[in-house]
Amino acid sequence: MSQPSQWQRMLAGEPYDAADAELTALRHRARALYRRFNREELDKAASLALLDELLGSHGQRCHINPPVYCDYGRNIHVGENFYANVNCTLLDVCEIRIGDNVLLAPNVQILTAAHPVAVAPRVQGVEFGKPVTIGHNVWVGGGSILCPGVSIGDNSVIGAGSVVTRDIPANVVAVGNPCRVLRPLTAAELAQTPSGA
Protein backbone atom coordinates (compact mmCIF):
# COMPACT_ATOMS: atom_id res chain seq x y z
CA MET A 1 0.00 0.00 0.00
CA SER A 2 1.47 3.33 -1.07
CA GLN A 3 2.03 6.16 1.35
CA PRO A 4 -0.24 9.22 0.97
CA SER A 5 1.33 12.15 -0.85
CA GLN A 6 2.13 15.35 1.02
CA TRP A 7 -0.86 16.92 -0.81
CA GLN A 8 -3.15 14.18 0.53
CA ARG A 9 -1.71 14.54 4.03
CA MET A 10 -2.17 18.31 3.88
CA LEU A 11 -5.81 18.12 2.81
CA ALA A 12 -6.52 15.51 5.50
CA GLY A 13 -5.22 17.88 8.19
CA GLU A 14 -2.23 15.65 8.95
CA PRO A 15 1.33 16.93 9.47
CA TYR A 16 3.01 17.48 6.12
CA ASP A 17 6.19 18.86 4.58
CA ALA A 18 5.46 22.21 2.92
CA ALA A 19 8.81 22.03 1.11
CA ASP A 20 7.59 19.01 -0.89
CA ALA A 21 8.25 19.52 -4.63
CA GLU A 22 4.62 19.00 -5.69
CA LEU A 23 3.32 21.46 -3.09
CA THR A 24 5.98 24.01 -4.01
CA ALA A 25 5.03 23.77 -7.69
CA LEU A 26 1.33 24.18 -6.90
CA ARG A 27 2.03 27.28 -4.78
CA HIS A 28 4.11 28.77 -7.62
CA ARG A 29 1.23 28.09 -10.02
CA ALA A 30 -1.26 29.84 -7.72
CA ARG A 31 1.12 32.76 -7.19
CA ALA A 32 1.49 33.27 -10.95
CA LEU A 33 -2.29 33.27 -11.38
CA TYR A 34 -3.11 35.66 -8.53
CA ARG A 35 -0.27 38.01 -9.51
CA ARG A 36 -1.78 38.22 -12.97
CA PHE A 37 -5.24 38.77 -11.46
CA ASN A 38 -3.87 41.46 -9.13
CA ARG A 39 -1.91 43.50 -11.67
CA GLU A 40 -4.05 43.40 -14.80
CA GLU A 41 -7.18 45.38 -15.52
CA LEU A 42 -9.56 42.56 -16.42
CA ASP A 43 -13.10 42.75 -17.71
CA LYS A 44 -15.70 40.58 -16.02
CA ALA A 45 -15.34 37.64 -18.42
CA ALA A 46 -11.55 37.62 -18.20
CA SER A 47 -11.69 37.92 -14.42
CA LEU A 48 -14.03 34.92 -14.13
CA ALA A 49 -11.89 32.92 -16.55
CA LEU A 50 -8.83 33.53 -14.39
CA LEU A 51 -10.78 32.63 -11.25
CA ASP A 52 -11.79 29.39 -13.02
CA GLU A 53 -8.09 28.52 -13.16
CA LEU A 54 -7.25 29.69 -9.65
CA LEU A 55 -10.18 28.60 -7.46
CA GLY A 56 -11.56 25.14 -6.80
CA SER A 57 -15.06 26.40 -7.61
CA HIS A 58 -17.11 29.58 -7.64
CA GLY A 59 -20.58 30.82 -8.51
CA GLN A 60 -21.18 32.82 -11.67
CA ARG A 61 -21.70 35.98 -9.64
CA CYS A 62 -18.29 36.14 -8.00
CA HIS A 63 -16.43 39.41 -7.55
CA ILE A 64 -13.01 39.73 -5.94
CA ASN A 65 -11.31 43.11 -5.78
CA PRO A 66 -7.55 42.80 -6.22
CA PRO A 67 -5.21 42.32 -4.60
CA VAL A 68 -6.02 38.86 -3.27
CA TYR A 69 -3.57 36.24 -1.96
CA CYS A 70 -3.77 32.48 -1.44
CA ASP A 71 -1.59 29.39 -1.07
CA TYR A 72 -3.06 27.00 -3.65
CA GLY A 73 -6.38 28.47 -4.76
CA ARG A 74 -7.84 25.12 -5.75
CA ASN A 75 -8.93 24.45 -2.13
CA ILE A 76 -11.13 27.57 -2.13
CA HIS A 77 -14.83 27.04 -2.94
CA VAL A 78 -17.17 30.04 -2.97
CA GLY A 79 -20.89 30.15 -3.66
CA GLU A 80 -23.10 32.42 -5.71
CA ASN A 81 -23.04 36.20 -5.26
CA PHE A 82 -19.67 36.24 -3.47
CA TYR A 83 -17.86 39.54 -2.89
CA ALA A 84 -14.38 40.05 -1.47
CA ASN A 85 -13.03 43.55 -1.08
CA VAL A 86 -9.35 44.51 -1.43
CA ASN A 87 -6.40 42.79 0.22
CA CYS A 88 -8.01 39.53 1.33
CA THR A 89 -5.75 36.59 2.20
CA LEU A 90 -7.05 33.02 1.97
CA LEU A 91 -4.45 30.47 3.08
CA ASP A 92 -5.99 27.28 1.74
CA VAL A 93 -3.82 24.36 2.83
CA CYS A 94 -7.17 22.81 3.77
CA GLU A 95 -10.50 23.60 2.19
CA ILE A 96 -12.13 26.99 2.58
CA ARG A 97 -15.85 26.58 1.83
CA ILE A 98 -17.94 29.74 1.56
CA GLY A 99 -21.70 29.81 0.96
CA ASP A 100 -23.90 32.10 -1.14
CA ASN A 101 -24.28 35.84 -0.60
CA VAL A 102 -21.11 36.23 1.47
CA LEU A 103 -19.31 39.56 1.84
CA LEU A 104 -15.67 39.89 2.91
CA ALA A 105 -14.61 43.42 3.81
CA PRO A 106 -11.05 44.70 3.15
CA ASN A 107 -8.09 42.95 4.79
CA VAL A 108 -9.97 39.82 5.85
CA GLN A 109 -7.72 36.81 6.50
CA ILE A 110 -9.03 33.25 6.31
CA LEU A 111 -6.31 30.95 7.60
CA THR A 112 -6.39 27.17 7.44
CA ALA A 113 -2.62 26.76 7.90
CA ALA A 114 -1.15 26.04 11.32
CA HIS A 115 2.16 25.06 12.92
CA PRO A 116 2.85 22.84 15.94
CA VAL A 117 3.13 24.53 19.33
CA ALA A 118 5.99 22.15 20.16
CA VAL A 119 9.28 23.78 19.21
CA ALA A 120 11.18 20.88 17.59
CA PRO A 121 8.66 19.96 14.85
CA ARG A 122 7.88 23.63 14.22
CA VAL A 123 11.57 24.40 13.66
CA GLN A 124 11.81 21.37 11.36
CA GLY A 125 9.09 22.86 9.14
CA VAL A 126 6.18 20.59 10.02
CA GLU A 127 2.83 22.15 9.16
CA PHE A 128 -0.81 21.06 9.30
CA GLY A 129 -4.17 22.59 8.54
CA LYS A 130 -7.82 22.68 9.51
CA PRO A 131 -10.66 23.63 7.12
CA VAL A 132 -12.74 26.79 7.48
CA THR A 133 -16.44 26.96 6.60
CA ILE A 134 -18.60 30.06 6.17
CA GLY A 135 -22.36 29.64 5.73
CA HIS A 136 -24.78 31.60 3.54
CA ASN A 137 -25.52 35.34 3.88
CA VAL A 138 -22.51 36.06 6.10
CA TRP A 139 -20.74 39.42 6.34
CA VAL A 140 -17.16 39.43 7.68
CA GLY A 141 -16.02 42.91 8.73
CA GLY A 142 -12.78 44.59 7.77
CA GLY A 143 -9.52 43.30 9.19
CA SER A 144 -11.08 40.18 10.69
CA ILE A 145 -9.06 36.98 11.04
CA LEU A 146 -10.66 33.53 10.81
CA CYS A 147 -8.36 30.97 12.43
CA PRO A 148 -7.89 27.35 11.33
CA GLY A 149 -10.83 25.03 11.92
CA VAL A 150 -13.59 27.56 12.58
CA SER A 151 -17.05 27.71 11.06
CA ILE A 152 -19.50 30.61 10.86
CA GLY A 153 -23.22 29.88 10.67
CA ASP A 154 -25.71 31.26 8.15
CA ASN A 155 -26.70 34.94 8.28
CA SER A 156 -24.16 35.92 10.93
CA VAL A 157 -22.13 39.14 11.01
CA ILE A 158 -18.53 39.25 12.21
CA GLY A 159 -17.57 42.72 13.43
CA ALA A 160 -14.53 44.52 12.06
CA GLY A 161 -11.21 43.55 13.61
CA SER A 162 -12.50 40.32 15.12
CA VAL A 163 -10.29 37.27 15.65
CA VAL A 164 -12.46 34.17 15.24
CA THR A 165 -10.88 31.35 17.25
CA ARG A 166 -13.98 29.15 17.71
CA ASP A 167 -17.20 28.38 15.85
CA ILE A 168 -19.80 31.14 15.57
CA PRO A 169 -23.45 30.00 15.37
CA ALA A 170 -26.02 31.10 12.81
CA ASN A 171 -28.09 34.28 13.12
CA VAL A 172 -25.85 36.33 15.42
CA VAL A 173 -23.64 39.40 15.52
CA ALA A 174 -20.23 38.45 16.92
CA VAL A 175 -17.29 40.75 17.62
CA GLY A 176 -13.98 41.03 19.40
CA ASN A 177 -10.68 39.33 20.09
CA PRO A 178 -11.41 36.56 20.71
CA CYS A 179 -14.66 36.84 18.76
CA ARG A 180 -17.77 36.27 20.89
CA VAL A 181 -21.49 36.48 20.24
CA LEU A 182 -22.72 39.99 20.99
CA ARG A 183 -26.40 39.41 20.27
CA PRO A 184 -28.81 37.40 18.12
CA LEU A 185 -30.11 38.93 14.91
CA THR A 186 -33.61 40.32 15.37
CA ALA A 187 -36.68 39.00 13.55
CA ALA A 188 -36.66 42.20 11.48
CA GLU A 189 -33.01 41.66 10.51
CA LEU A 190 -33.80 38.10 9.44
CA ALA A 191 -37.06 38.99 7.67
CA GLN A 192 -35.44 39.50 4.27
CA THR A 193 -33.27 36.36 4.34
CA PRO A 194 -33.10 34.87 0.83
CA SER A 195 -35.14 31.72 0.38
CA GLY A 196 -33.24 28.46 0.80
CA ALA A 197 -30.85 29.91 3.37
CA-CA distance, 106 to 166, in Å (whole number)? 22
Would residue 58 show up in a list of annotated catalytic residues for this protein? Answer: no
Q: Cβ(96)–Cβ(54) under 8 Å?
A: no
Catalytic residue among 28, 63, 115, 136: 115
* Spatial CA neighbour of 50 closest among 94, 38, 82, 75: 38
Torsion of CA 45, 47, 49, 53, to 10 degrees: -170
Task: Return the SS3 of 190.
Answer: helix
Active site residues: 115
